[in-house]
Structure 1
Amino acid sequence: MSGDDRQNEEDRQNELAREHKERQAQRAAAQTAKARRNTFIGAGVAVVVVAGGIFAATTLVNKDPAGEAAAKSSASASASASPSATTPSTPPAKTGPVTCTYKRETGVPNKFVGLPGKRPNMKLKKMTITTNRGTVVVDLMTDAAPCSINSLSFLAKKKFYNDMKCHRLVTPDVSGVHMLQCGDPLAKADGKNPTDGQGTAGYVYGDENTDIPLAKGVVFMTQAGDAMGQNNSQFAISLSDENTQIGSGYNVVGVVSEGMDMLLGLATSGKDLLLNNADITGDGGTTAPKKPVIIKSITFK
């Protein structure tokens, strides 16, 4: 092989190596973006050792602390506020029979009332949440999130949510996001209890309908950002379009069609909340409303 041939071969090998390195970098960047998409809203994820295992608390935490300065709450919106026009429409219906899988989870604080059935009721269209502060009606995306709605419906029939306090309410001036979170059966919602946000129904299930941004009025299931596929009894309601900065990655079950005015009036700033600094740092506990929000019942039709 002549000197020129050897040089050409070396150049070709160098070019192949460079292209391989670029492909690796692109794949790494894509994986990082996907991981960030599933990070919770707030500031960090509290990790608690329970029964010999590690449990990431299901407190929503902040993906981007810088968003706190940019987020100015829409809580002062007019009394006629309604779900955002930017909320995407329901995804196409799934075809064929649907089977759901739920896995018992004993290594976390929980109130177990059984496991939901495997076959969801695909005819459910509305969820009504009756609270001490007013009523919220949610138009369901049953075709896109059948197993999430099946779980919620099962727990509602078991009266799991009855007389339950919503343990976390945050505003942009506190956490950079605006939402109400409920579904921890053990929560005290006093702004002091370090284990608020950790309680579940004692089982978990997989992700579905995760491509919808968290616009105002969107109702979604919550789970720790590093625990994909670990949905449980907790859910949250987005109270601002600015929550779309979080991206998608959560099980969306529907959109509020009635009761947004009441929800927006729950808190306009941190002064309406029982602040918990541990909520902001991710060390445990949650920021709760000063005036308790208590679920009286949840029904489906």
Structure 2
Amino acid sequence: MSGEDRQSRLAQEHKERQAQRAEQATKTKRNIFIGAGAAVVVVAGGVIAATTLIGGNSEGSTSAAESSPTASASSALPTTPIAPTAPADASKVSCSYRKDTSGSPAKKVGMPPGKPNLKLKTMTITTNHGAIVIDLATAQAPCSVNSLAFLAKKNFYDDTKCHRLATPENSGLAMLQCGDPQAKADGKNPTDGQGSSGYVFNDENLGGIPFTKGTVALAQPQEAANQNGSQFWFSLGDETAQLGADYTPFGVVSKGMDILDKVYKGGWITNPDDITGDGGSTAPKIPVVIKDVKLS
């Protein structure tokens, strides 16, 4: 299918979804989505159907319709602990990664090694606002941490933008989603949230850490288990704990929650041109640019 045909199909599906939502708006609460680019599959957190359209890295704009969350966000560090787990036997742990065949636009840097480094403890994300440090659940999610470490070494995340700010008002959740290498995060690009690393891998640690404030997890399409890629999200409030155990939690923020709270309180930009209509491009009004990622 050509890029034009795919775009036309997505636009038609968008219109059909809008009509369905309008009909059901008075009966049910808006569906909650979180996800990462996938072929013709609606994803949780608003990251969805694959397309050949690719976003760039221009600076974000606030010229689109704008709103601000009313829910309060404390800068106190989260209290959710990482459940203790016996050290894994490195000789028995291996990881498998496979090509992403969904058609999502990808920044390909190869495949991670099959043997993970089980000694990794922290992930430091340096942003334009400062450093965010994550205590890693390496024993519980070794292949997820292995993928993140591989992408970090390849500078995959450098100069990428966090493309989606979800709040109780726009999606029923509280989160910041990052990891799409193609995202413009300007509230205008219709395909934000669809970029990937070109490979996928299986779920881990499902239900191992509640999605309360401070938890960090991988994004993947709803009802498409074992399709993890490069995208991940920070829980910014306990509203996100309502999600089912369908996403891989790999750590908890131990430093930099004040940065995330500032972004959360700054509100979001509504993107009227989101081709899926599911909120995948609700960019934060305060731009978040990842400058570097390191695992140690």
Relative distance call for 1:203 and 1:244 in structure 2 (3 A) is same
Say yes or no: does 1:89 pair with 2:91.
Answer: no
TM-score by length of 1: 0.73
Say yes or no: does 1:56 pair with 2:56.
Answer: no
Q: Is the 1:87–1:216 contact (alpha carbons within 8 Å) kept by the matching residues of 2?
A: no
Relative distance call for 1:185 and 1:42 in structure 2 (3 A) is farther
- Cα distance between partner residues in 2 of 1:176 and 1:255: 21
Q: How many positions carry a matched residue from both structures?
A: 243
- Cα distance between partner residues in 2 of 1:47 and 1:247: 16
Residue ranges of structure 1 left out of the alignment (5+ in a row): 1-40, 63-70
Q: Is the 2:80–2:215 contact (alpha carbons within 8 Å) kept by the matching residues of 1?
A: no
Matches of residues 132-211 of structure 1 in structure 2 within 5 Å? 132-211=128-207
Relative distance call for 1:187 and 1:171 in structure 2 (3 A) is same
Matches of residues 94-109 of structure 1 in structure 2 within 5 Å? 94-95=88-89, 96-106=91-101, 107-109=103-105
- Cα distance between partner residues in 2 of 1:278 and 1:260: 31
Say yes or no: does 1:263 pair with 2:246.
Answer: no
- Cα distance between partner residues in 1 of 2:125 and 2:37: 30
Deviation at 1:151, TM superposition (A): 0.4
* Paired residue type of 1:73: A
Q: Is the 2:190–2:271 contact (alpha carbons within 8 Å) kept by the matching residues of 1?
A: no
Q: Is the 2:128–2:289 contact (alpha carbons within 8 Å) kept by the matching residues of 1?
A: yes
* Paired residue type of 2:169: D
Say yes or no: does 1:125 pair with 2:121.
Answer: yes
Q: Is the 1:113–1:201 contact (alpha carbons within 8 Å) kept by the matching residues of 2?
A: yes
Deviation at 1:248, TM superposition (A): 2.1
Deviation at 1:279, TM superposition (A): 6.1
Instruction: Give the structure with higher Rg (CA).
Output: 1
* Paired residue type of 1:60: G
Q: Is the 2:35–2:220 contact (alpha carbons within 8 Å) kept by the matching residues of 1?
A: no
TM-score by length of 2: 0.74
Partner-residue secondary structure (3-state), 1:254: strand
- Higher share in helix: 1
CA RMSD across the alignment: 2.8
Q: Is the 1:221–1:250 contact (alpha carbons within 8 Å) kept by the matching residues of 2?
A: yes
- Cα distance between partner residues in 2 of 1:60 and 1:90: 29
* Paired residue type of 1:89: A
Residue ranges of structure 2 left out of the alignment (5+ in a row): 1-29, 48-68
Matches of residues 212-227 of structure 1 in structure 2 within 5 Å? 212-227=209-224
Counterpart of 2:294 in structure 1 is 299
* Paired residue type of 2:71: S
Q: Is the 1:170–1:180 contact (alpha carbons within 8 Å) kept by the matching residues of 2?
A: yes
Percent identity over paired residues: 51
Say yes or no: does 1:250 pair with 2:247.
Answer: yes
Q: Is the 1:46–1:282 contact (alpha carbons within 8 Å) kept by the matching residues of 2?
A: no
Deviation at 1:91, TM superposition (A): 4.1
- Cα distance between partner residues in 2 of 1:244 and 1:149: 22
- Cα distance between partner residues in 1 of 2:189 and 2:96: 32
- Cα distance between partner residues in 2 of 1:86 and 1:283: 29
Counterpart of 1:235 in structure 2 is 232
* Paired residue type of 1:276: N
- Cα distance between partner residues in 1 of 2:213 and 2:192: 24
- Cα distance between partner residues in 2 of 1:173 and 1:141: 31
- Cα distance between partner residues in 1 of 2:127 and 2:268: 18
Q: Is the 1:167–1:182 contact (alpha carbons within 8 Å) kept by the matching residues of 2?
A: yes
